[in-house]
Amino acid sequence: MLINKSFLITGGAGFIGSNLVEYLLENGASEVRVLDNLSNGYRENIEPFINDARFEFIEGDIRDLNTCKKAVEGIEYISHQAALGSVPRSVKDPIISNEVNITGFLNMLVAAKESPSLKRMVYAASSSSFGDSAKLPKVEGEEGKPLSPYAVTKWVNELYGDVFSKVYGFHTIGLRYFNVFGPKQNPNNPYAAVIPLFMKAAMEKKAPIINGDGSYSRDFTFVQNAIQANVKAMLATPDLDKHEVINIAVGERTTLIQLWDAIAAAAGVNIQPEFSPNRPGDIPHSLASIDKARALIGYDPKYTVREGIGITYEWFERKFSVGV
Ligand SMILES: NC(=O)c1ccc[n+]([C@@H]2O[C@H](COP(=O)([O-])OP(=O)(O)OC[C@H]3O[C@@H](n4cnc5c(N)ncnc54)[C@H](O)[C@@H]3O)[C@@H](O)[C@H]2O)c1
């Protein structure tokens, strides 16, 4: 399926991007190029591919249009993952989140739109676009108001995706990820997500800190489900005639307490969590409808949260034995 096809993965040294690169190379892609400035990604994530003749790394910044244009040259499929993630980071420094996530995104859209070789661009959107809407499950088209600078940036991406489709006839697909987790997600980053933090606590046999009383729930999504969505969105949509946004999740809700219990069970520890106040802007519950993704690209998540946690915990254990 991937033979004789060329891919550009922006943010390919990051968590989701490097898992996607690994999948593409393992499954026969003829060319995989990564554009990443290593601001939040890690050279070690791409080191295993450096000697593969089909792999190319461009260390560069999506805020520079010429860099984006060079990265896109000769490429057929783009998965645009580069962005500054994390709501708290965007609250601390909204200007840099805006520059990377909006200006950088716009640069990639322009570079892709002008490329004669390009067949499809997909990009990482976010469940944060549902904002303050309390309705469950979350269905595309039923968004509320954004709750953070990060959510604004991801929402603006979708607005640009729509406008590029209408104005230039350049059609992209936004993948609204819901709390993706898995191997290669760094727990030592100041803006680390909840699952790598819980994994680290379990490995160190320490109590995890839960913001709130543990009843908040999320549609946690194992990274291989997100990889499947990327590949299908890139390849299975030759007849796309407008901009589309689709939820990428499992359609299952797990509370933070249940999440900790599953991780503690995988680690074989019995430790009670500690609780701290809720974080401002955190919505109580998130659960996706994935009907649109199923219909549009044939998305069919293969991994449950529990399976994903088992695989991820094993990876963390291996990694920690040589140091993350
Ligand atoms: N992980 C999740 O749960 C989740 C949820 C919703 C959306 N997303 C989105 O998915 C994408 C990938 O997320 P991730 O968790 O892998 O994050 P990540 O931080 O691990 O990966 C992002 C990559 O982008 C790179 N990058 C940042 N700024 C750049 C710039 N100016 N130029 C070039 N490269 C730059 C970073 O170095 C990093 O390698 C992001 O767009 C994120 O907003 C992630």
pLDDT tens for residues 159-180?
A: 999 999 999 999 999 999 999 9
What is the pairing mode between strands 173-177 and 120-126?
Answer: parallel
Query: Which one of the listed residues 77, 123, 150, 313 is annotated catalytic?
Result: 150
Nearest to 310 by CA among 193, 224, 208, 188: 224
> In what helix (H) or strand (E) does residue 180 lie, and over which residues does it extend?
strand 180-181
Beta pairing partners, 181: 222
In the reported structure, the alpha carbon of residue 58 is separated from the centroid of ligand 1 by a whole-number distance in angstroms of 16
Residues facing 138 on adjacent strands: 288
Q: What does the alpha-carbon distance between residue 235 and residue 253 come to, in Å, rounded to a whole number?
A: 29
Closest residue (by CA) to atom 42 of ligand 1?
A: 85
Q: How far is CA 26 from CA 30, 32, 128, 212, 304, in A?
A: 10, 11, 31, 41, 23
Residue 137: asked if its preceding bond is cis (omega within 30°), the reply is yes
Whether the CB of 177 sits within 6 Å of ligand 1: yes
Confidence check: pLDDT of 324 > 80? no
Are the C-beta atoms of residues 84 and 136 closer than 8 Å to each other? no
Helix axes 194-203, 256-267, angle to 10 degrees: 40
What's the distance, CA 160 to chain centroid? Answer: 19
Q: Rounded mean pLDDT of the chain?
A: 96
Site of tokens 């295993």: 48
Cα-to-centroid distance, 14 and ligand 1 (Å): 6
pLDDT in the model for residue 216: 95
Q: Which amino acid is at 62?
A: I
Look at residue 321 and give its three-state secondary structure: helix
pLDDT at site 322: 52
> In this predicted structure, which of 62-66, 154-158, 189-193, 209-213 has the lowest mean pLDDT?
189-193
Helix axes 104-113, 149-168, angle to 10 degrees: 20
CB 183 less than 6 A from any atom of ligand 1: no
Is the distance from the beta carbon of residue 18 to the nearest atom of ligand 1 less than 6 Å?
no
pLDDT tens, 242-263?
Answer: 999 999 999 999 999 999 999 9
Give 273's DSSP letter.
Answer: P
* CA angle in degrees (0–180, nearest 5) for 110-116-118: 75
What percent of the chain stands above pLDDT 90?
94
Residue 82, CA distances (Å) to 15, 160, 176 in order: 10, 16, 14
pTM here is 0.97
User: How far is the C-alpha of 228 from the C-alpha of 29, rounded, in Å?
Assistant: 15
- Burial class of residue 165 (count of CB atoms within 10 Å of its CB; 0-12, 13-18, 19+): middle
Ligand 1 pocket, residue 112 CB under 6 Å: no
- The CA 122 to ligand 1 mean position distance, Å, reads 14
- For ligand 1, is residue 17 a contact (CB within 6 Å)? yes
Q: Is the CB of 222 under 6 A from ligand 1?
A: no
121-142 pLDDT, tens digit each: 999 999 999 999 999 999 999 9
Helix (H) or strand (E) holding 124: strand 120-126
Instruction: Give the CA distances from residue 112 to residues 4, 221, 244, in Å, rounded to whole numbers and listed in that order.
Output: 20, 28, 16
Instruction: Specify whether 191 is catalytic.
Output: no
Pocket test for ligand 1, best of 177, 184, 312 (most atoms within 8 A of CB): 177
Statement: residue 191 has pLDDT above 90: no
Domain 6-181+221-251+288-302 sits in CATH 3.40.50.720: yes
For ligand 1, atom 1, name the residue with the nearest CA. Answer: 180
* Percent of the residues in the chain that have a pLDDT greater than 70, as a whole number: 99
Q: Is the pLDDT of residue 323 over 60?
A: no
The domain limits of the chain are: 6-181+221-251+288-302
